[in-house]
Amino acid sequence: MSNILEKIPTFVYWIRLLRTSLPDLLRGQITGAKQWKVVLAASDLPENVTLEIASAVHHTKLWPRERLDIARELVDHFQDAIEAGNTPEDAIRLFGDPQAAAKLIRRAKRRCRPLWWQAWWWISRSTAALLGIYLALILWLGGVKPQVTTDYFAVLNEGALDAPVEDRAWPIYLDIARSIYIQKNEGTAGLADSPIEFEWEPHWDEMSKQEAATWLAQRQDLIKRVRQAATKPALGVQLNAGQQVFSNFDPVTGELLSTAISAEERREASLYSTLLGHVQSMRGYVRLLRHDAIAAAERGDREIAVADIVAMLSVSDHAGQGGNFLVAGLVRMACESLAMQTVNEVMAEHPHLFTTDDLATLAHAFAAIEYPSDCWLGGERFAFYDSLQRLYSDNGDGDGFVTAEGIRKLQEYASHNNIEAIVASERSLPGVIEATIPVLYFAVASRQEVREMYDRFIMLAVADATTPLYQWKHRWGAAENYLETQFGSMDKQLRYYPISLLAPGITPATNAFHRAHGQRDGVLVGLALELYRRDQGNWPASLEELSPRWLPKIPVDQINGGPLGYRIIDGKPIVYSLGVDSDDDGGRLPPCCEGDIAKYRVHSPYQREATPHASDEDGDWVLWSLAPSVGDAENVATEQEVTTP
């Protein structure tokens, strides 16, 4: 018996422990579950009163400890009320509605809870509200799809087929490609591999002049057809997505396999998917003509040499007509540069080859080169607008927000069409991008804002290309400066992600634009010098003597804005820009060129001294030289008579 009595407190404790709810245990309180009912049951109040109290306490839905306190207090209240002479029914009536009381008690008691609970309550409710709003945003924003409303392929191709069929070069190029393809794959059973640029050109640098001449002699039919294509004023082709025409021929019949894509595929494809493989093929034709011109000059065939050089310019122009894209423009300028280089080399090697009429023909051909006012950025602009309509929603006013589908497309663009990366992104958990859309809605700039920023960027790029280098106010151009200042930081790169990802590398393009102008000036001056010399019997004392008879207007230095440098070295003229260091080095190339004119880096002289490679640019940009070796100009000057008019 005494043993049992000793164990009762422990026994009661364990009972209480077992009857304590888990939340109370976690709070370190051993309250005993439903302890408040025990209190009610232990009171001597009438049943109707205890039921009233029980109803009130139960509906408070408070913590057990709180309910216990309230139950005790209400028991006291009703006991006092009855002791004061009220009947239980009066006491109940005077007390009021227990459920209304429970509501008020609950609200008040929760205000008494500790600070950590208050904080948790507000944070959890706020979080739940925010989550709710976030989910609603996901449902609303995630369901919005981009609307492709403008067919930018049609815009790009506008006017492409305006020229009559007989004035289009494309059918001839296609025929040339077919014959090359068939010849390459002759004897191949079944469909051959279809490389994007099937190799038909020899490795010119590895061939001797004799080998090159032999190779060319065996392909005169091909060269004649290229010259024939060059006579056509227009390229005459419409671009399309996924069109790669030079590798889709049946190797047996030579028939062009269909490259047509369905209207649905066309709607799905963006302008960035336009393939311009034919542009690179034309570069091959230009190299073909160059080497043929050199071979013709070697054997004294001036007519072919002139025809080839003029054809080089025409084929270059065709390359530039390929969609008005920047890459097409760059290829065109590179091809024209080859033509200029060819003229210079031929005249240096064979000073008596061309007649005066030949020189005039060449001068007119080079003078006729025109550069588009938008510097081949028109196609880039259309491609960007096309991307915007595939990335963003459309509110009908030209504005919208980036969509989940748009984010996926940006992932594709970022992977540079890497198949593995695309497949990996497609395997990512569905809905992950949709879940981030509300964040991106605020993080990524709107469609209108992105478009405005991009338009400004293009405007600055066009201005860079059309503003002389010596008038630039930024080292790498206003467009590059704009990119750096507007999109240099991480948050801005995210905000204007489409621009960060899709804006073309402008600096090389705008510099190429100025290089092309400078080189053309050099060729025109060079041809004019030769015409002067043949007419007057000697080189002019200064370039001003060429104007206006041999050259309507004397060009200025593209880099410095001053007069071009002009010297006679060993009886041969050299025309040059003073270069980015604005220092007359007598036509000596800087060390960075390693003797190769093509390696001269054309850029603005603005703040040149601040660049790390300033000393490496000490030299001149040679535009035209009949001297034996431009790299040895300085050495020649020390050994032989140099006249500086």
Nearer to other proteins by C-beta: 66 or 405?
Answer: 66
| Member of 77, 225, 267, 601 binding other proteins (CB under 8 A) | 77
- Using CB under 8 A as the binding rule, whether residue 105 contacts other proteins is answered as yes
- Using CB under 8 A as the binding rule, whether residue 29 contacts other proteins is answered as no
- Using CB under 8 A as the binding rule, whether residue 119 contacts other proteins is answered as no
| Member of 111, 299, 416, 427 binding other proteins (CB under 8 A) | 111
Residues in contact with other proteins, shown as a per-residue x/- string from 526 to 565 under the rule CB under 8 A: ----------------------------------------
- Using CB under 8 A as the binding rule, whether residue 599 contacts other proteins is answered as no
Q: Are 472 and 511 in contact (CB under 8 A)?
A: no
| Member of 36, 63, 95, 476 binding other proteins (CB under 8 A) | 95
Amino acid letter, residue 419: I
Alpha-carbon span 97 to 466, nearest angstrom: 86
Least distance to other proteins, CB of residue 111, Å = 4
| Member of 89, 97, 544, 596 binding other proteins (CB under 8 A) | 97
- Using CB under 8 A as the binding rule, whether residue 108 contacts other proteins is answered as yes
- Using CB under 8 A as the binding rule, whether residue 55 contacts other proteins is answered as no
Least Cα distance to 288 among 319, 313, 320, 312 occurs for: 312
- Using CB under 8 A as the binding rule, whether residue 109 contacts other proteins is answered as yes
- Using CB under 8 A as the binding rule, whether residue 79 contacts other proteins is answered as yes
Nearer to other proteins by C-beta: 105 or 177?
Answer: 105
- Using CB under 8 A as the binding rule, whether residue 131 contacts other proteins is answered as no
Q: What is the DSSP string of 221-267?
A: HHHHHHHHHHT-SB------BT--GGG-B-TTT-PBPP----HHHHH
Nearer to other proteins by C-beta: 37 or 533?
Answer: 37
The values of phi and psi at residue 577, to 5°, are -90, 145
Alpha-carbon span 448 to 219, nearest angstrom: 54
Tokens 């590895």 -> residue = 206
Q: Which two tokens stand for residue 474?
A: 């930024």
Alpha-carbon span 553 to 545, nearest angstrom: 11
Q: H-helix or E-strand containing 69?
A: helix 64-83
Q: Which of residues 479-498 bind other proteins (CB under 8 A)?
A: none
Alpha-carbon span 452 to 454, nearest angstrom: 5
Q: What is the DSSP string of 349-379?
A: H-TTSS-HHHHHHHHHHHHT----TTTT-HH
Nearer to other proteins by C-beta: 98 or 142?
Answer: 98
Looking at 392-431, list the stretches that DSSP marks H as alpha helix, in order from N- to C-terminal side: 404-414, 419-426
Stretch that binds other proteins, among 76-84, 371-379, 572-580, 592-600 (CB under 8 A): 76-84
Tokens 């050495």 -> residue = 635
Applying CB under 8 A, the site for other proteins has a residue count of 26
Least distance to other proteins, CB of residue 387, Å = 59
Q: Are 525 and 543 in contact (CB under 8 A)?
A: yes
Stretch that binds other proteins, among 88-96, 244-252, 279-287, 392-400 (CB under 8 A): 88-96
| Member of 73, 167, 199, 449 binding other proteins (CB under 8 A) | 73
Interface residues with other proteins (CB under 8 A) are 56, 69-70, 72-74, 76-77, 79-81, 84, 94-98, 100-101, 104-105, 107-109, 111-112
